[in-house]
Amino acid sequence: MDSLRRLASVPLGRVVFTRHALPAVRPVNHIVADGQIVIRSSAGTILSTELAAFEAVVAFEADELDVKERLGWSVVVTGVAQLVKDPEETARFKSMIQPWVMGEMEQVIRIRPEIITGYELVPAVVPG
Amino acid sequence: MDSLRRLASVPLGRVVFTRHALPAVRPVNHIVADGQIVIRSSAGTILSTELAAFEAVVAFEADELDVKERLGWSVVVTGVAQLVKDPEETARFKSMIQPWVMGEMEQVIRIRPEIITGYELVPAVVPG
């Protein structure tokens, strides 16, 4: 659960998926709620139309990496992307996430983690 | 080429690929040289063994997003990952990239951009 807490501590991550047999990736702002990654989307977007609509498997990555110190962490969650269909649940999630981009963003997509991988960047030992 | 310049302006990006039919992603530090994304890797890693060795198609994403202002950009490059085999070229690239993580990192992998997509986050209009 430490990894999910880390994911929850940053506002932004990247949805990773396959499109037309090619690896693809989009940055998106997210929250973690009820043990899931929750993001907002608009009806016309790839996320809504091609991923959540078909319950595609996606990865979601977030990190916090200190460029100067070369320290930090990265968490990758793999799971199914689903459109939240229950209106009450949709409203509840929408009240919790402010979308960063313009548009209606009337949909809510959740990613239920099946695999959670966390790694940490530790300082490299520089030979004296 | 503006997008590649942006990619070159940040030290860190994410390699996006497919592994065991699942979307996967790893953060990595990179440079842009000769119009390609160049990263270092160790012989035993997924990047070397599963991607570059088979010249797999990968995506490489980098962004610079201002959490407070909700402004910024993201660039995604799609292309083939290749192990750099020429010893002189390997040495030249190695002298240009300091790996962030421990390990030998004796290999150099290049991603030749086939598709470059850049987008920019513009301020959302908040209704008065």
How many Å lie between the alpha carbon of A127 and the closest alpha carbon of chain B?
Answer: 12
pLDDT, tens digit (0-9, with 9 covering 90-100), for A56-100: 999 999 999 887 887 899 999 999 999 999 999 999 999 999 877
Mutation test of the interface with chain A: which of B25, B58, B98, B115, choosing the one with the most A Cβ atoms within 10 A? B25
Whole-Å CA distances, B2 to B29, B69, B118: 20, 22, 9
pLDDT at A126 > cutoff 90? no
> CA B13: distance to chain centroid?
5
* Alpha-carbon span B5 to B91, nearest angstrom: 23
Give the nearest partner residue to A16 out of B25, B67, B74, using CB atoms: B25
Mutation test of the interface with chain B: which of A7, A9, A15, A25, choosing the one with the most B Cβ atoms within 10 A? A25
Query: Which residue in B has a C-alpha nearest to residue A121's C-alpha?
Result: B101
Domains and CATH numbers, chain B: 3-121 (2.30.110.10)
Whole-Å CA distances, A82 to A25, A105, B17: 17, 15, 21
Strand partners, B34: none
> How high is the pLDDT of residue A58?
97
Between B92 and A2, name the one with better pLDDT: B92
Under a CB-based contact definition with an 8 Å cutoff, are residues A107 and A43 in contact?
yes
DSSP code string of A63-82: EEEETTTTEEEEEEEEEEEE
Is residue B25 within 8 angstroms of chain A, CB to CB? yes
> How high is the pLDDT of residue A125?
56
Q: Phi/psi zone of residue A98: left (φ > 0), alpha (ψ -120 to 50 degrees), beta?
A: beta
Contact (CB<8Å) B23/A59: yes
> How high is the pLDDT of residue A128?
47
Taking 70 as the pLDDT cut, the residues of chain B under it are 1, 102, 123-128
Query: Which residue in A has a C-alpha nearest to residue B120's C-alpha?
Result: A101
What ipTM does this complex have? Answer: 0.88
Structure-block tokens of residue A56: 């595609």
Structure-block tokens of residue A59: 């990865």
> How high is the pLDDT of residue A100?
76
> How high is the pLDDT of residue A101?
72
Query: Which residue in A has a C-alpha nearest to residue B103's C-alpha?
Result: A124
- In chain B, residues with a C-beta closer than 8 Å to the C-beta of A26 are 74, 76
> How high is the pLDDT of residue B111?
97
* Alpha-carbon span A108 to A82, nearest angstrom: 9
Contact (CB<8Å) A12/B100: no
The mean per-residue pLDDT over the stretch A103-117 comes to 91
* Alpha-carbon span A1 to A60, nearest angstrom: 15
Is residue B100 within 8 angstroms of chain A, CB to CB? yes
Between B56 and A119, name the one with better pLDDT: B56
Give the single-character DSSP code of B54: G
pLDDT, tens digit (0-9, with 9 covering 90-100), for A3-48: 999 999 999 999 999 999 899 999 999 999 999 999 999 888 888 8
pLDDT at A109 > cutoff 70? yes
